[in-house]
């Protein structure tokens, strides 16, 4: 039975996290998971929308859910998936709120179409560990990441709020840990795996980011990690792109590559730079990868 | 038949939402009702006098009181009838408070329902018979289940009162949770110094028989005549021969056996005596850790034992005891904090429970009273205490306050400062609950004299950091987030029902609440009785309690038993089943459904017939529903009486 999902890349997938989107698509292709991009999708409104108006947020998401409803009319879909935890949270929260008939009616009125919004909504990570199973991933591994010491960093909303996200353990998730272990990496225990990186406060309160993300980098180094592995575009951006700002503010000297898990999976599967896009990372992982057996550091 | 009806106002409890005057007026129209009135408080002295007067004035044969639940006052009004010279079973109660006024706001509908309930009671009363109670003998021995401080107190009181006492304890030694504590609040006196002598008294009292390492297998019978089977678990040591010298523990090679008594801090040997002051001071073998019992190797203890007391082939033994009353004092267990992922879910070695900390503080504990953290044995400097772990938290199904954690946390901060003057304690709390005598003064001392820093708020995460731990939390008084670096974190775990409490309650046929604590007979007026006659409660099995309250309940339960046993005979309840022999076809259905084993099949002129053992019958009525012939009837609740009530309502 092959899996097929309506795919919602999210805005950052076209920009700051192009490497996440690209490597995710390549990984799914190798795994035989069919992704059908939601045609003419729009931004979910991200934090700015839901922070000021739940209805606005739900309507932005609702339009996308409506298009997915139409897709499901034409072919059988296993659900709607997205790589981005923030998009995921908006999708799932909207689905949760639409259970209230009065709210549902309002959203339909504004979106201008009936909404079913009944398809299961999941992250790509959840599909890999729950729908597909990580053993399938193990079969793909050609170049195990042996010797690579990593800490998994889930971010704060991949598993929270637990009543809505319904995925893994809210305090100590293990999905990413187990997945990375299947790729052959040495996964270290990481107490800060669900701490907040500062998220979108980076644009207005840089001091919050340098403190919170700085602490995550410090903890990763103390744990003995070579790299941090994320599943969230904003977390990755704060830890990677802002690493030099953090170093400056905190008088630290981190040179810690921050991967997307999909990049490492691609690397282990022997995919090329066109799929993994390691060059997009700000802190270059080349020196680190060059030291790994079987990896050239040149993106295979 | 002349019937009188009394409709109670219960102040405004009933009269507020039921037109009691109208109910009384309507009652006058019911058959054989010759007198009806409303009354302010039917149960009060003038209320009862009014009933007695009416019985005499109107020559009443039976009385209906419409008021509260019969659980509350049926016995009261039955005595009123007896005072007026009537048979006490010529009385019916219509519950128009719990079943009407407290649950409905519509006065008109309430009044109608009250009238119907009164009508049903009248129709039943018209079919009531005079019933006479018999008498039966009492076995004046008492069983106390649980040898913690509540059970010890109850056992000693009963024994001093001249009763023969059987004390049953699940663990190898009596003493319970209190024997694990270092000091007690608010006096900071040594726990084992005040409990130890009482434990010795139990061992030496001529009236007390102790079964430790034993559990209740089954309970049969009824008040005055219980038949209890006790399972004495194999200790693999002959306790009649064992002198408690401890030689065996010095030779046992299984030195890494989990130490239950020390809350798994430190290790013990497979054969062990749980603690120096154990009563009885006898060795027992942990069968899961013993090399001889698991792999048939070793046997070192048997070789060294000077009295040859080791018995590797010992089996559990079942003992029968006949007693007239039972006191349940089975205590509590501690909440399993690993449900809280934010405190590490058990992954961090230096996040420990308050009871583990108690063992670290204790001079007879695994560290001989030196505070050493489990991970590296170092002496901690900064210690964070987190209160309400498993208390007052709906999200984990523990909405109740455990009551004693605020106090023992304050005590532990004081002891911490005494042990390590350079240390600093921090306490995260929700509210300080210190309502006992000298309790609030005690928590103030912890803060003001011993410098414990109290932070009002919850902890969101504990994270390892450079060999220490970062404790992140909220200070809700400052409205800020706080972070404290600590060497050791002590969780004030709450109390939950003891493991196996529900199963024991079912054996004893007593009720328990949704959290597994045993239900008292009445939350205010019957705190140590249960709804099963002859079974009493003491201590934390009824709800979390500190030591003084547990001791007081042990005393109270003993007083109840002594009062019960002050009579030589008890009155039997005539509301039991009886068999009409001519209708009985001897099918035996009643015998198979009776939950109390109260029905025997007898041979009557060559035919099988059912027969009720009246002292065993509890009057539940299951047999009457099962009988295909209507041959077995429950006195006071016959088919005709119940059908009359149904017909009144439905026809």
- Per-residue pLDDT tens over the stretch B550-602: 999 999 999 999 999 999 999 888 999 999 999 999 999 999 999 888 899 99
Residues B414 and B356: their CA atoms lie apart, in Å, by 16
Partner residue facing B341 (CB), from A172, A189, A222: A172
**Sheet with B208-211, edge to edge strand ranges:** B208-211, B164-168, B141-145, B325-328, B535-537
Whole-number Cα distances in Å, B441 to B187, B286, B402, B413, B447 = 11, 44, 20, 14, 10
DSSP state of B279: S
- The whole-number average pLDDT for the span B206-230 is 95
Band of the pLDDT at A292, cuts 50, 70, 90? confident
Partners of B579 in the β-ladder: B632
Q: Is the pLDDT of residue B643 over 80?
A: yes
Quote the minimal CA–CA distance from B341 to chain A in Å: 5
Nearest to B341 among A171, A195, A219 (CB): A171
Alpha carbons within 13 angstroms on the beta-carbon side of residue B486 total 29
Query: B450 and B413 in contact (C-beta within 8 Å)?
Result: yes
Would you call A118 an interface residue with chain B, using a CB distance cutoff of 8 Å?
no
Tell me how close the Cα of B377 comes to any Cα of chain A, in angstroms: 22
Question: Any chain A CB within 8 A of the CB of B347?
Answer: yes
* Phi, psi dihedral angles at A92 (to 5 degrees): -70, -40
What pLDDT is stored for residue B561 in this prediction? Answer: 98
> Which parts of chain A are beta strand (E)?
4-7, 34-37, 80-82, 121-123, 149-153, 186-187, 227-230, 258-260
B345, A189: Cβ pair inside 8 Å?
no
Segment B167-205, tens digit of pLDDT: 999 999 999 999 999 999 999 999 999 999 999 999 999
* Torsion angle, alpha carbons of A149, A153, A158, A163, to 10: 90
Contact criterion met (CB below 8 Å) for B440 and B455: no
- Can you say how many angstroms the Cα of residue A222 is from the centroid of all Cα atoms in its chain? 24
> Which residues, at least 6 apart from B549, have a Cβ–Cβ distance to it below 8 Å?
none
Q: Do A219 and B341 touch (CB under 8 A)?
A: no
Nearest residue in chain A measured CA to CA from B348: A191
In terms of phi and psi (left: phi > 0; alpha: psi -120 to 50; beta: otherwise), the region of B606 is left
How far is the CA of B632 from the CAs of A137, B129, B619, B628, B629, in angstroms?
71, 16, 12, 9, 8
d(CA A244, CA A250): 10
In this prediction, residue B14 has a pLDDT band, given cuts at 50, 70 and 90, of very high
> Given a cut of 70, is residue B440 above it in pLDDT?
yes
- Tell me the three-class secondary structure of B69-108, residue by residue: CHHHHHHHHHHHHHHCCCCCCCEEEEECHHHHHCCCCCHH
| Distant-in-sequence, close-in-space partners of B201: CB < 8 Å, separation ≥ 6 | B156
Task: Collect all residues of chain B within an 8 Å Cβ-Cβ radius of residue A170.
Answer: 341
Q: Please state the separation of Cα B338 from the chain's center in Å.
A: 26
Does B461 touch chain A if contact means CB atoms closer than 8 Å? yes
Measured distance CA(A154)–CA(A231) in Å, rounded: 6
How many CB atoms neighbour CB B448 within 10 A? 9
**Using CA atoms, how far apart are residues A171 and B461, in angstroms rounded to an integer?**
9
Dump pLDDT digits (tens) for B592-619: 999 888 899 999 999 999 999 888 888 9
* Interfacial A residues in 201-220 facing B (CB < 8 Å): 219
ipTM at complex level: 0.83
DSSP conformational letter for B380: P
CA distance B423 to B431: 24
Q: pLDDT-based confidence at B548, cuts 50/70/90?
A: very high
**Measured between CB atoms, does B346 come within 8 Å of chain A?**
no
What are the angstrom distances between the C-alpha of B86 and each of A83, B52, B129, B140? 83, 10, 11, 32
B461 with A195: Cβ contact below 8 A: yes
Q: How confident is the model at residue B72 (pLDDT cuts 50, 70, 90)?
A: confident
What's the pLDDT score for residue B597? 83
Across the interface, of B345, B464, B466, the residue whose CB is closest to A172 is B345
Sole residue written with tokens 């939350």: B523
- The answer to whether B463 contacts chain A (CB < 8 Å) is yes
Cross-strand bridge partners of residue B456 = B429
What are the structure tokens assigned to A291, written together? 């030291």
Interior angle at CA A136, CA A130 and CA A142, nearest 5: 140
Query: Tell me: the pLDDT tens digits for B308-337?
Result: 999 999 999 999 999 999 999 999 999 999
Q: Look at A171 and B466 and tell me if their CB atoms are within 8 Å.
A: no
Map residue B368 onto helix, strand or coil.
coil
Using an 8 Å CB-CB cutoff, list chain B residues near A195. Answer: 461, 463
Omega within 30 of 0 (cis) for the link into B280: yes
pLDDT band at A293 (very low <50, low <70, confident <90, very high): low
- Chain B nearest CA to A127, separation (Å): 24
CB contacts, 8 Å: B466 with chain A? 222
Which residues pair with residue B537 across a beta bridge? Answer: B328
Name the DSSP letter for residue A36: E
Going by C-alpha positions, the residue among B151, B131, B129, B132 that lies closest to residue B142 is B151
Two tokens, residue B558:
């003993």
DSSP letter string over B386-411?
EEEETSSBGGGTB-S--SSHHHHHHH
Using DSSP's 3-state secondary structure scheme, residue A183 falls into coil
Average pLDDT score, chain B: 96
B39 pLDDT more than 90: yes
Chain B residue nearest residue A222, CA to CA: B466
Task: Give the pairing of strands B480-486 and B468-475.
Answer: antiparallel
Residue A1 confidence (pLDDT) above 70:
no
Nearest of A14, A98, A111 to residue A64 by alpha carbon: A111
CB B465 within 8 A of CB B347: no
Does B465 lie at the interface with A, CB-CB under 8 angstroms?
Answer: yes
Residue of A168, A170, A171 to mutate when probing chain B, most B C-beta within 10 A: A171
* Average of per-residue pLDDT across A191-198: 94
B124: exposed, middle or buried (Cβ count in 10 Å: 0-12, 13-18, 19+): buried
How many other C-beta atoms can be found within 10 angstroms of the C-beta atom of residue B608?
Answer: 14
Q: Across-strand partners of B475?
A: B480
**Contact between A6 and A71 (Cβ < 8 Å):** yes
Q: Which residues of A touch B463 (CB under 8 A)?
A: 191-192, 195, 219
Cβ B341–A189 below 8 Å, yes or no? Answer: no
Strands, E assignment, B252-395: 257-258, 267-268, 271-272, 284-285, 317-323, 325-328, 332-334, 351-353, 382-389
* pLDDT per residue as tens digits for the range B77-93: 999 999 999 999 999 99
Give the model confidence (pLDDT) of B144-158 as tens digits: 999 999 999 999 999
Compute the count of residue pairs across chains A and B with CB atoms less than 8 Å apart: 21
- Please give the angle made by the CA atoms of B303, B307 and B310, to the nearest 5 degrees: 55
Tell me the CA distances in angstroms from B223 to B319, B327, B527, B553, B619, one per residue in order.
20, 12, 18, 20, 14
Cβ atoms within 10 Å of A185's Cβ, excluding its own: 26
What does the pLDDT read at residue A206?
A: 94
What are chain B's domains? 3-125 (3.40.50), 141-227+318-331+503-564 (3.50.50.60), 247-304 (no CATH), 333-496 (3.50.50.60), 577-635 (3.30.70.20)
d(CA B375, CA A75) in angstroms, rounded, equals 57
- Collect all residues with Cβ–Cβ distance below 8 Å to B140 and sequence separation of at least 6: B163, B164, B324, B565
Task: Give the C-alpha distances (Å, rounded to integers) separating A101 from A106, A107, A115, A135, B490.
Answer: 9, 10, 11, 41, 47
The tokens describing B166, both together, are 């059987």
Q: Which structure tokens are listed for B501?
A: 């409490």
State both tokens at A18.
Answer: 């192009």
A171, A192, A222 ranked by CB distance to B342: nearest: A171
Question: What number of CA atoms fall less than 13 Å from residue B415's CA on the CB side?
Answer: 28
A171 to chain B: which residues are within 8 Å by CB? Answer: 340-342, 345
Pairing of strands B325-328, B535-537: parallel
For tokens 């005539």, the residue is B574
pLDDT tier at A300 (50, 70, 90 boundaries)? very low
Pairing outcome for strands A121-123 and A149-153: unpaired
Structural domains of chain A, with CATH = 4-124 (1.20.1050.140), 142-290 (3.40.50.11810)
Residue B385 pLDDT > 60: yes
**Are B150 and B554 in contact, with CB atoms under 8 Å apart?**
yes
Q: What is the pTM of this model?
A: 0.86
pLDDT digits (tens, 9 = 90+) for B493-514: 999 999 999 999 999 999 999 9
* Contact between residue A14 and residue A88 where contact means Cβ atoms under 8 Å apart: no
Instruction: Give residue-wise pLDDT tens across range A219-251.
Output: 999 999 999 999 999 999 999 999 999 999 999
Report the greatest alpha carbon distance in chain B. Answer: 90
**Closest chain A residue to B346, measured at CA:** A172
Name the closest residue on chain A to residue B470, using Cα atoms.
A191
d(CA B284, CA B266): 18
Both tokens of residue B525?
Answer: 């007026």
Q: Is the dihedral of CA A260, A266, A269, A273 positive or negative?
A: negative
Nearest CA in chain B to A193: B463
Give A201 to chain B, closest Cα distance, Å. 17
CA distances (Å), origin A19, targets A14, A84, B591: 9, 12, 77
Q: What is the pLDDT of residue B219?
A: 95
Please give the average per-residue pLDDT across B387-406, as a whole number.
96
């Amino acid at each position: 039975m092959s899996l097929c999902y309506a795919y919602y890349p999210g805005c950052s997938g076209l920009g700051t996290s192009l490497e996440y989107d690209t490597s995710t698509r390549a990984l799914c292709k190798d795994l035989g998971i069919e992704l059908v991009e939601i045609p003419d999708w729009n931004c979910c409104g991200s934090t700015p929308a839901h922070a000021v108006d739940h209805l606005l947020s739900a309507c932005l998401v609702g339009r996308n859910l409506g298009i997915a409803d139409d897709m499901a009319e034409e072919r059988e879909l296993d659900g709607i998936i997205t790589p981005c935890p923030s998009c995921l949270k908006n999708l799932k929260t909207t689905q949760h709120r639409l259970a209230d008939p009065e709210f549902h009616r309002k959203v339909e009125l504004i979106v201008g179409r009936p909404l079913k919004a009944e398809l299961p909504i999941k992250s790509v990570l959840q599909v890999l560990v729950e729908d597909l199973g990580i053993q399938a991933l193990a079969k793909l591994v050609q170049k195990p990441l042996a010797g690579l010491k990593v800490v998994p960093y889930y971010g704060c909303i991949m598993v929270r709020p637990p009543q809505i996200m319904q995925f893994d353990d809210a305090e100590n998730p293990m999905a990413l840990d187990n997945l990375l272990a299947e790729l052959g990496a040495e996964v270290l225990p990481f107490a800060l795996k669900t701490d907040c990186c500062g998220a979108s406060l980076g644009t207005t309160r840089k001091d919050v980011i340098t403190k919170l993300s700085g602490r995550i980098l410090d903890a990763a180094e103390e744990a003995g990690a070579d790299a941090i592995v994320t599943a969230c575009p904003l977390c990755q951006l704060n830890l990677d792109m802002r690493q030099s700002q953090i170093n400056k503010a905190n008088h630290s000297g981190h040179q810690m590559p921050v991967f997307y898990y999909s990049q490492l999976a691609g690397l282990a599967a022997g995919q090329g730079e066109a799929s993994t896009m390691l060059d997009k990372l700000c802190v270059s992982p080349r020196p680190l990868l060059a030291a790994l057996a079987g990896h050239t550091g040149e993106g295979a | 038949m002349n019937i009188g009806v009394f409709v109670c106002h219960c102040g405004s409890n009933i009269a507020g939402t039921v037109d009691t005057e109208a109910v009384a007026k309507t009652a006058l129209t019911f058959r054989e009702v010759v007198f009806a009135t409303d009354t302010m408080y039917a149960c009060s002295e003038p209320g009862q006098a009014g009933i007695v007067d009416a019985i005499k004035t109107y020559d009443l044969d039976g009385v209906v009181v419409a008021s509260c639940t019969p659980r509350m006052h049926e016995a009261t009004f039955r005595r009123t009838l007896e005072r007026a010279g009537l048979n006490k079973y010529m009385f019916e109660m219509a519950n128009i408070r719990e079943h009407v006024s407290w649950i409905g706001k519509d006065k008109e509908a309430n009044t109608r329902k009250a009238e119907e309930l009164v009508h049903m009671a009248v129709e039943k009363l018209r079919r009531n018979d005079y019933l006479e109670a018999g008498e039966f003998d009492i076995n004046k021995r008492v069983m106390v289940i649980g040898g913690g401080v509540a059970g010890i107190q109850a056992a000693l009181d009963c024994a001093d009162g001249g009763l023969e006492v059987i004390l049953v304890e699940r663990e190898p030694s009596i003493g319970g949770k209190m024997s694990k504590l270092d000091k007690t609040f608010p006096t900071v006196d040594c726990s084992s110094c005040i409990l130890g002598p009482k434990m010795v008294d139990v061992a030496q009292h001529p009236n007390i028989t102790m079964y430790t390492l034993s559990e209740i297998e089954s309970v049969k019978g009824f008040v005055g005549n219980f038949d209890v089977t006790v399972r004495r678990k194999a200790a693999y040591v002959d306790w009649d021969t064992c002198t408690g010298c401890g030689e065996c523990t010095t030779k046992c090679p299984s030195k890494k056996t989990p130490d239950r008594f020390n809350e798994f801090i430190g290790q013990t040997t497979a054969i062990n005596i749980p603690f120096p002051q154990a009563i009885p001071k006898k060795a027992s073998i942990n069968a899961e850790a013993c090399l001889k019992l698991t792999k048939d190797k070793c046997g070192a203890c048997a070789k060294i034992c000077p009295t040859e007391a080791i018995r590797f082939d010992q089996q559990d033994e079942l003992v029968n005891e006949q007693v007239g009353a039972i006191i349940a004092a089975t205590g509590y267990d501690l909440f399993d904090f690993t449900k809280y992922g934010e405190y590490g879910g058990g992954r961090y070695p230096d996040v420990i429970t308050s009871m583990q900390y108690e063992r670290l503080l204790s001079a007879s504990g695994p560290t001989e009273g030196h505070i050493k953290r489990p991970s590296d044995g170092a002496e901690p400097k900064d210690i964070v205490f987190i209160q309400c772990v498993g208390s007052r938290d709906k999200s984990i199904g523990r909405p109740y306050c455990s009551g004693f954690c605020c106090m023992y946390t304050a005590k532990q901060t004081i002891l911490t400062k005494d042990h390590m003057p350079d240390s600093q304690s921090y306490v995260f709390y929700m509210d300080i609950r210190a309502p006992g005598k000298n309790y609030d003064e005690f928590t103030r001392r912890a803060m003001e004299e011993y410098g414990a820093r109290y932070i009002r708020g919850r902890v969101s995460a504990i994270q390892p950091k450079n060999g220490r731990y970062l404790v992140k939390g909220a200070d809700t008084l400052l409205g800020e987030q706080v972070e404290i670096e600590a060497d050791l974190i002590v969780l004030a775990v709450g109390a939950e029902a003891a493991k196996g409490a529900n199963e024991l309650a079912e054996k004893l046929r007593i009720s328990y609440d949704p959290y597994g604590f045993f239900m008292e007979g009445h939350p205010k007026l019957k705190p140590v009785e249960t709804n099963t006659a002859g079974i009493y409660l003491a201590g934390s099995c009824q709800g979390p309690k500190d030591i003084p309250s547990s001791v007081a309940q042990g005393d109270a339960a003993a007083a109840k038993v002594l009062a019960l046993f002050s009579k030589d005979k008890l009155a039997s309840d005539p509301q039991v089943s009886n068999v009409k022999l001519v209708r009985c076809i001897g099918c035996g259905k009643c015998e198979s459904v009776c939950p109390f084993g109260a029905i025997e099949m007898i041979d009557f002129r060559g035919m099988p017939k059912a027969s009720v053992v009246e002292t065993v019958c509890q009057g539940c009525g299951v047999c009457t529903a099962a009988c295909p012939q209507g041959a077995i009837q429950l006195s006071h609740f016959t088919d005709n009486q119940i059908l009359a009530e149904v017909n009144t309502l439905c026809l």
